[in-house]
Amino acid sequence: MAQIQSFTLSEAGYVLGRTSAMLNKAVDTGVIYARQRKVGNMTQRLLGPAELRFLRLADELDKDLTPAGRRRLYGALRKLPDDAHKLQLGRLELDLAQIDTDLRDRMAMLEAIRGKIDSKSNRGEAVIRGTTITAHLIAALARDQSVDAILAEFPSLTRDQIDAAVEYAKAYPKRGRPYPTKSLKTALADLANAGAFEDNGDLGEVGPRAIP
């Protein structure tokens, strides 16, 4: 599994299909180890190839591994070169080729997504490359609105750019206050529609009556 770098927990979670909270718990409980890196006033936890391989293998071998077996497997994986695809563990030989292929595919997907987002814009927020539109804003809108609705409000975007923004937000969640899941335009339109509906309901109740 050559050319693999260290991943933050959110990046590793995206590659593995796990949440950062799950990976944090695995580190806190000593299931895996994490390297630490200072970023400003923050400390990031980083996982490498052995951790990603172990977590994938542990999922597949969950019912067959004792706690001691897990520790032996993890220790062996930490010693295994990144480009070695077979692991000998006592009498057991594990073929890592498919796992490594799957991990590489997910890592390549993450790199492709990163290439479509400018994470170092002048405003300090990640924007969709070639635009000034914030990636996390589009990802938030996609939770509550269809792609077609977003395209109607941001006609300069493509479906591929919207998909990239959504996936980017999964690997790099927004810090601080989240964006609303509806744009101001959509929220005002919904409010206007709701008001019109209420007016129609009132008019219906006040309809003409038959005179006895």
How is the chain split into domains, by residue range? Answer: 7-115, 117-196
Is 94 strand, coil or helix? strand
The pLDDT score that the predictor gives to residue 178 is 87
Tokens of 90: 């006592």
HSE on the CB side for 80, CA within 13 Å?
28
The pLDDT score that the predictor gives to residue 206 is 43
Distance separating alpha carbons of residues 64 and 105, to the nearest angstrom: 27
Distance separating alpha carbons of residues 116 and 37, to the nearest angstrom: 26
Distance separating alpha carbons of residues 150 and 184, to the nearest angstrom: 12
| CATH class assigned to 7-115 | mainly alpha
Per-residue pLDDT of the chain (212 residues; tens, 9 = 90+): 545 578 999 999 999 999 999 999 999 999 999 999 998 888 999 999 999 999 999 888 877 778 888 899 999 999 999 889 999 888 888 999 999 999 999 999 999 999 999 988 767 789 999 999 999 999 999 999 999 999 999 999 999 999 999 999 999 999 888 898 887 677 666 666 666 555 555 544 444 444 44
Is 206 strand, coil or helix? coil
| CATH class assigned to 117-196 | mainly alpha
The pLDDT score that the predictor gives to residue 124 is 78
Confirm if 48 and 8 have CB atoms less than 8 A apart.
no
HSE on the CB side for 124, CA within 13 Å?
1
